[in-house]
Amino acid sequence: MVPNWITQRAMISPHRTALRFDKQAWTYKQLNEQSKQYASKLITLGIERGDRVAIYAPSTPAIIQMMLACMQLKCEMVLLNLRLSAYELAYQLDDAAASAILVADELVERLPETAIVLHRFSAIEAAAETPSLFNDTWDDAATMTIMYTSGTTGFPKGVRQTVGNHVAVATSSLYNTGLRDDDAWLCTMPLFHISGFSMLVKCLVQGVRLDLYKKFDEKTIATELVNGTVSHMSVVAVTLERLITELEARGAVVSPKFQMMLAGGGPVPESYLLRGFDRGIHIAQTYGMTETASQVATLSSEDALRKIGSAGKPLFFNHVRIDGALKPGDIGEICVKSAQVTPGYIGRFSQCDSTKDGWLHTGDVGYLDAEGYLYVVDRRSDLIISGGENIYPAEIENVLAAHPAVKEVGVCGIDSDEWGQVPAAFIVAKDAAQCTQLEAYCQERLAHYKVPKSFHIVEELPRNGSNKLMRRHLKDLL
């Protein structure tokens, strides 16, 4: 059993600012009171303790109010991605078998036709309260959230994340980053994604402030970092590059009050890391996934330049090994053992084991060096096999991202009668004219078989709700 995070935090630090959004602020006491009020309204609308409910809403205080209300009722929350098509949403709603959907009013029309009862946020707000008592403790084995994988290897899986999984993440993170009274997380990651939700959990458990933004805006975020109003933030490669470009345009560096920027969602080009360090940003590459309820390994700031490109060492309570590796540097599938690992899935994949002999086989490819630092090479499903040679798209992307004419890049394999597959590069250009030099640039830096056989200038790259590159959709751009 663990304490009810909401009531426990309100008891310990009731008047501390918990949440800020668009010039508004709420204390932990206010969030606790709101959570019980909205939970009482949900009871009136027929939602019972332990029900499985879906939530479909943008990252505003309203979704946090609904999440906290569901936590008070010990409901299982299916967090729906706003970037999904109606077809994809229909699959997840059917697979999850949710009893109700809590939906922001402005998004109702985007939902597919469904027999599941809908509760608009405005209707919940207007509902009467049914007086009720709420538990001061939670079962650490109880499922709290369900998030669907991106479906890179087939149908998306509904991943169960328990109270204990989330506590383990918040605890491991604390051991890694430490804690100060003036800490504050700046959150531009969507709250339906594990990266965003884990920030909310960290703030509740650790008692620090969450500064929430509905979307990423590099100009606003750059100002916050320069002014030193927050201490931590999470990014993926594309948002990191946009932020750095904005700081470079201003000739600005971030405030020393800003402690750490966690970079995840896949390998980050080394050129981005170096540019970020020049702007005073302490960038810590991380490794994690939906099945691990967020980060399982993080590179410490003191090793940032010495081990550039590494995702660091496992956090204190975690173990990482490379399947089949006999020595440091051997590449294989990354396996994780941790209290953070999901106990399993729901729906179509409910009978599938999440671990084998206690180890989660991630589907990611990487290696450990002689000092035990993890390097993530790529997704196994994205591997290009050309003439019997293994080619990792991230390696090519890392080279191309350093070219001054390239803003963003994605690489995938396309069919070849001669070689089976060959790499193709898709470029969002800063300067399209200079992109004619990219093949020669790659020939100087990559083995011949790794050089892309075609370069395509595109307006944008396909990304999911957390801005992670979806390589399997690159071919659609052709």
Tens of pLDDT, residue by residue over 23-53, are 999 999 999 999 999 999 999 999 999 999 9
- What confidence score (pLDDT) does residue 300 get? 85
- The CA R_g of the chain, rounded to the nearest whole Å, is 22
Q: Domain 383-477 has what CATH class?
A: alpha beta
Nearest-5° Cα angle at 25, 22 to 29? 150
Name the least confident of 17-26, 365-374, 376-385, 421-430: 376-385
**Mean pLDDT value of segment 266-270:** 82
Q: Look over the chain and give the mean of its residue pLDDT values, rounded to a whole number.
A: 93
Percent of the chain with pLDDT over 70: 99
Contacts of residue 43, Cβ cutoff 8 Å, sequence gap at least 6? 73, 130, 132
Name the least confident of 156-160, 258-262, 448-452, 467-471: 467-471
- What confidence score (pLDDT) does residue 247 get? 98
- pLDDT tens digits for 113-128? 999 999 999 999 999 9
DSSP 60: S
Name the least confident of 34-48, 246-260, 378-392, 436-450: 378-392
- pLDDT tens digits for 64-92? 999 999 999 999 999 999 988 888 899 99
Residues 465 and 196 sit within 8 Å (Cβ to Cβ): no
Determine the Cα–Cα distance for residues 374 and 296; give it in Å rounded to an integer.
Answer: 11
- For residues 181 and 79, the model is more confident at 79
The sheet with strand 454-457 has its strands ordered as: 406-416, 420-429, 454-457
- For residues 13 and 383, the model is more confident at 13
Nearest-5° Cα angle at 234, 254 to 91? 155
Residues 222 and 91 sit within 8 Å (Cβ to Cβ): no
The HSE-up count of residue 125 (CA atoms within 13 Å, CB side) is 9
- What confidence score (pLDDT) does residue 160 get? 98
Band of residue 178 on the pLDDT scale cut at 50, 70, 90:
confident
CATH of domain 2-138: 3.40.50.980
- What confidence score (pLDDT) does residue 154 get? 61
- What confidence score (pLDDT) does residue 329 get? 96
**Mean pLDDT value of segment 15-26:** 97
Name the least confident of 242-251, 315-324, 325-334, 469-478: 469-478
Intervals of CATH 3.30.300.30 along the chain: 383-477
Determine the Cα–Cα distance for residues 311 and 394; give it in Å rounded to an integer.
Answer: 14
Intervals of CATH 3.40.50.980 along the chain: 2-138
Band of residue 305 on the pLDDT scale cut at 50, 70, 90:
confident
Report the topology of domain 165-380.
Rossmann fold (3.40.50)
**Mean pLDDT value of segment 226-246:** 94
**Mean pLDDT value of segment 408-419:** 91
**Mean pLDDT value of segment 417-423:** 87
- What confidence score (pLDDT) does residue 151 get? 56
Intervals of CATH 3.40.50.12780 along the chain: 165-380
